Chains A and B, each alone.
Chain A
Amino acid sequence: GAVVSQHPSRVICKSGTSVKIECRSLDFQATTMFWYRQFPKQSLMLMATSNEGSKATYEQGVEKDKFLINHASLTLSTLTVTSAHPEDSSFYICSARPMAGELFFGEGSRLTVL
């Protein structure tokens, strides 16, 4: 079946640095990908919708300059957490779907900012 892969699965960084997380659709093309954030013991909150070849659409309350999203190809979207702070520590999950198909989720990336 369709697979969505994220990298890295775990990353630890120092406060003030930037971190890039990749989301790839391995066997289908995805014009749209979605980025979620999951706090401990809470649900997934949609952060933004990533559109291939155009700007991402951010949900209310999500800082677009903080969370940079680039969807450069039909199989790759990246989320860059800029000038990371400890409060950005979280589990970030991406998802994508083939045309009119099921939504598939990546394995998630756990970010820890020291």
Chain B
Amino acid sequence: GNSVTQMEGPVTLSEEAFLTINCTYTATGYPSLFWYVQYPGEGLQLLLKATKADDKGSNKGFEATYRKETTSFHLEKGSVQVSDSAVYFCALSDNTGNQFYFGTGTSLTVIP
């Protein structure tokens, strides 16, 4: 079946530090991979996505590369800001794009 496993948090970083949040998946077929961000009190917002192997999704300084050989989609950012404090969810969708499977979320706190 399909599932997503992501690094447990919480993660606390100083401003301008490098961020990596690990995400691995198991899936049948050819899933699309996503990172969503949830700011306090809000719903989820799409941060970036990749739809096929070796694709790199990027947005707001965040990047993630779809690695089929390691079944991974790790999220990275070179220099985090206080405003990046949020919960980050890795997710995959099946071939239809209707069924989404989410990781447990990783809480990030960036301190000045």
Known: A93-B44, A105-B44, A108-B42. A49 touches B98 (CB 8 A): yes
Number of interface residues of B (CB under 8 A): 18
How many Å lie between the Cα of A13 and that of B107 in the bound state? Answer: 29
B interface majority secondary structure: strand
Q: Are B43 and A6 touching (Cβ within 8 A)?
A: yes
B22-48: CB near A (< 8 Å → 1, else 0) gives: 000000000000001000001111100
B57 on interface, CB distance cutoff 8 Å: no
> Smallest distance from the beta carbon of B86 to chain A beta carbons, Å?
14
| Total residues of chain A contacting the partner, CB 8 A | 21
Choose the segment among A60-68, A72-80, A95-103 that binds chain B (4+ C-beta atoms closer than 8 Å). A95-103
B-contacting residues of A (Cβ < 8 Å)? 4, 6, 32, 34, 41-44, 46, 49, 93, 95, 97, 100, 102-108
